[in-house]
Amino acid sequence: MDTSRDEKKLLRYTYLLCLVCFLNLAILKQPFDKGAMIMAIVTCLLIGYSYIIIRKFFSDGDKYIFIFSSMLSVIGMVMIYRINTADSIKQIIWFAIGVTGFILIVVLLPDLKSFSKYKYVYLVFTLIFMSMAMLMGTEINGSKNWIVIGGFTFQPSEFGKLFLVAYLASELQDYENFKDLIIPGVVVMVSLGFMVLQKDLGSALIFFGISITMLYIATSKFSYIATCIGLFAAGAVISYKLFDHVQTRVLIWMNPWPYATGKSYQVVQSMFAIASGGLTGTGLGLGHPEYVPVNTTDFIFAVLCEELGILIGFGIIILYFLLFYRCMRAAVYVEDKFSRLLAVGYSAMIASQVLVIVGGVMNAIPLTGITLPLVSYGGSSMLITFFSLGIIQKISEEGR
């Protein structure tokens, strides 16, 4: 099988997707929007140049990881440009930085086995980033999980995810019996506690998804997973009793319509947008994303479904599945247990984030305000996702 030929074919489809979508937006504006075509050309050049570097110097790894992530990033930049041109310019800068970080991780990092001994360093940074918003955070959209420094806004929990996965991988690689799970279990519970206190329920769900996935891969014991799910359910009930914001989220999820002009306004507008798009959508640039709150970040999937249709929405979910599959494939082929757990953890991180936000936007689960990886506007989310994928790319190199 000529994988190089298949990769290049898929890459050409990515260029075509980028050029056609931006051309569509350029034509819709009068006069012709040259800025849209500049965005398209710059994006294609970034993707093409990065692929050439990775293919030339590191030909053994799984290049589909980069290609699928690039396709998702293109979809995101097109939709962000359609909604807010200024944000799209920032997004392409973050995309360039993220891709650069992806390449540097693959180029500069030595064998990842040597990083397994720094578990206490990972632990310290995990606790610092998890607790940072409690000490100096700013409340935005109901959650106190943002840090504002000199006009730059970021979520410390995004960086905490990176170190939590690295810590759990370094701790669980030596698993022999139940005693080896006590300390990492406490660390996970403390991390979840910080997220609940910051009203960041989305991150709490993601951390739980990461933890139980890595736990099962490390131990192969379903009884541990069942116990963790039971404890999480008990914690969820306690949180529901103690915190008003949890009760509000559940109330909106169960029946959003009585509160359509108030508490559940975001969810209701999201569902209206998805329903108005139908199967095929209103057409790129022909919808009304201005009616959807937080439309470039939390609810960008609703805007995509409105203008491109629920079929394209399913297509985006399939792209995420393919990305997840290629990432987990890297874990299967690598022999080192630390590297395998890293790949599983970062793969689960991306998959959990997609499931949580898509489920929330469609009101299948209580809404939590997080970004759709690679698609939503957000610098810290883009960087962390590409850094994670860069590490998985490095692992795929080692597994060949």
pLDDT for res 65: 92
Query: Is the per-residue pLDDT at 110 higher than 60?
Result: yes
Looking at the fold, whether 89 and 206 belong to one and the same domain comes out as no
pLDDT tens digit sequence for 279-298: 999 999 888 999 998 888 88
| Cβ contacts of 172 within 8 Å, gap of 6 or more | 180, 181, 184, 214, 215, 218, 219, 341
Looking at the fold, whether 51 and 163 belong to one and the same domain comes out as no
Query: Is the per-residue pLDDT at 1 higher than 50?
Result: no
**Residue range 299-306: mean pLDDT, rounded:** 94
Note down the domain range covering 146: 112-398
Which of 73, 108, 143 is a domain's end point? 108
Looking at the fold, whether 61 and 183 belong to one and the same domain comes out as no
pLDDT tens digit sequence for 259-281: 888 888 889 999 999 999 999 99
Count of domains forming the chain? 2
Looking at the fold, whether 98 and 47 belong to one and the same domain comes out as yes
pLDDT for res 143: 66
Distance from the Cα of residue 143 to its chain's centroid: 18
Looking at the fold, whether 179 and 297 belong to one and the same domain comes out as yes
What is the residue whose two structure tokens read 């030595």? 110
Which of 75, 108, 141 is a domain's end point? 108
| Cβ contacts of 378 within 8 Å, gap of 6 or more | 94, 297, 371
Looking at the fold, whether 300 and 159 belong to one and the same domain comes out as yes
Which of 87, 108, 129 is a domain's end point? 108
Looking at the fold, whether 241 and 168 belong to one and the same domain comes out as yes
Task: Round to whole Å and give the CA distance between 233 and 230.
Answer: 5
pLDDT for res 47: 93
Both tokens of residue 293?
């709150």
Band (pLDDT 50/70/90 cuts) for residue 152 is confident
Band (pLDDT 50/70/90 cuts) for residue 400 is low
Q: Is 208 within 8 Å of 375 (Cβ atoms)?
A: no
